[in-house]
Amino acid sequence: MATASATVADALAKFRAGETLAPPTPPIAPAAPAAPVKAGRTRRITYPRPNGEDYYAREVIGSDHDIDMLRSSVGETTRKNLYCLLFGEPGVGKTGAAEAAFPELITLEGDGDTTVDDLVGMWVQNPDGTYEWVDGPLVEAAEQGTALLIDEIALIEPKVLAGSVYAAMDGRGRFRVKTNPKRGIITIKPGFTVIGSCNPNAPGARMSEALLSRFSIHMEYTTDYDLAKQLGVPPKFIAVAKNLQTKKENNNSRYVPQMRELLAAKEATERYGIDFAAANFISTAPERDRPVVADVVSRQFGTAIAPLRSGDAATAAI
């Protein structure tokens, strides 16, 4: 099996080109029944997230929506699992989708310093000098029969994932904890699955072909501008985002604000006014892309707008 590392963007394109998906298995939990609506009318389908926010389900071919697809990707046994890799720019809703689909989700935030111990478990020293074994999120999810989200999975060293996650995703239904012989073999309970999420364009992002092949479903997440409008984002900010998306497609820009930034602009507008929000919209862009964003914002607002900065010392009447 190939183990050479590849850029996530290239590897995803290669695997998606010939990907064939098996028919989805019955979902582990039925979706909440839709409330009746009057003929000719529609409503957005939402699911709660742990932070109290609503997640707005996305349309997906072959399923009612992405939450239905994620839930039905979990098979009766690990051999029938269709492991899902969610990719896209930061702020488009990848983590929110996983949280909405699996209320008992266990999450690991991945980065370049993530180790095998962070996934499987480690020995922790007690105050009295003795050591105690603490299970990692991979073992917890396997024994509880729930979903594990590995966020920013493309930033984790491939050899770390090879020494931890590979065996759990191979369909054998068990794996060994090598760093603790007494912990022995972990038997995976039904309901266990692995969700990976990543930004394929992030600096340092890479995934081995061996790992990519274990993810049966590769699905890109993007921003729904119609939903942003419905949620109250001022139209000018949506127009700026669309303009920057076009520039990116034409290789004239590298940055496009996503739903997270659009909702932040809405909140900033409501608290401090649209002039503040427009200046902040520029400031939140990566420094290298700020001149392009400032130009697009200024054109959309009809006046020159500079990045947000503080001015002279504030005064008050005495």
In the chain, the amino acid numbered 162 is A
User: pLDDT digits over 189-214, tens only?
Assistant: 999 999 999 999 889 999 999 999 99
DSSP conformational letter for 6: E
Q: What angle do CA 159, 220, 215 make, to 5 degrees?
A: 40
SS (H, E, C) 236-267: HHHHHHHHHHHHHHCCCCCCCCCHHHHHHHHH
Which residues, 6 or more positions from 245, have their beta carbon under 8 angstroms from its beta carbon?
Answer: 256
Please report the DSSP string for 164-188 in residue order: THHHHTSSSSEEE-TT-TTT-EEEP
- Listed in order, strand segments (DSSP E) in 93-233 are 106-109, 121-125, 131-135, 147-151, 174-176, 185-187, 193-198, 206-208, 217-220
pLDDT-derived band at 132, boundaries 50, 70, 90 = very high
pLDDT-derived band at 19, boundaries 50, 70, 90 = very low
Query: What 3-state class would DSSP assign to 84?
Result: strand
The length of the chain in residues reads: 318
User: pLDDT digits over 152-167, tens only?
Assistant: 999 999 999 999 999 9
Nearest by Cα to 151 from 164, 137, 171: 137
Which pLDDT belongs to residue 43? Answer: 86
Whether residue 12 is predicted with pLDDT greater than 90 in this model: the reply is: no
Query: What 3-state class would DSSP assign to 203?
Result: coil
Whether residue 265 is predicted with pLDDT greater than 70 in this model: the reply is: yes
Nearest by Cα to 119 from 182, 194, 172: 194
Which pLDDT belongs to residue 10? Answer: 64
* 33-42, 182-191, 265-274 — most confident range: 265-274
Whether residue 312 is predicted with pLDDT greater than 80 in this model: the reply is: yes
Can you tell me the mean pLDDT for 133-151?
97
Which pLDDT belongs to residue 42? Answer: 78
Whether residue 22 is predicted with pLDDT greater than 70 in this model: the reply is: no
Cβ neighbours, 10 Å, residue 126:
8
DSSP conformational letter for 63: B
Can you tell me the mean pLDDT for 17-27?
45
Residues forming CATH 3.40.50.300 domain(s) in the chain: 5-31+42-220
Whether residue 114 is predicted with pLDDT greater than 90 in this model: the reply is: yes
pLDDT-derived band at 176, boundaries 50, 70, 90 = very high
Which pLDDT belongs to residue 3? Answer: 40
User: pLDDT digits over 51-86, tens only?
Assistant: 999 999 999 999 999 999 999 999 999 999 999 999
User: pLDDT digits over 223-259, tens only?
Assistant: 999 999 999 999 999 999 999 999 999 998 899 999 9
Structural fold of domain 5-31+42-220: Rossmann fold (3.40.50)
Which pLDDT belongs to residue 318? Answer: 85
Which pLDDT belongs to residue 117? Answer: 95
- Token output for 220: 């890109």
pTM: 0.83
* 48-52, 124-128, 259-263 — most confident range: 259-263
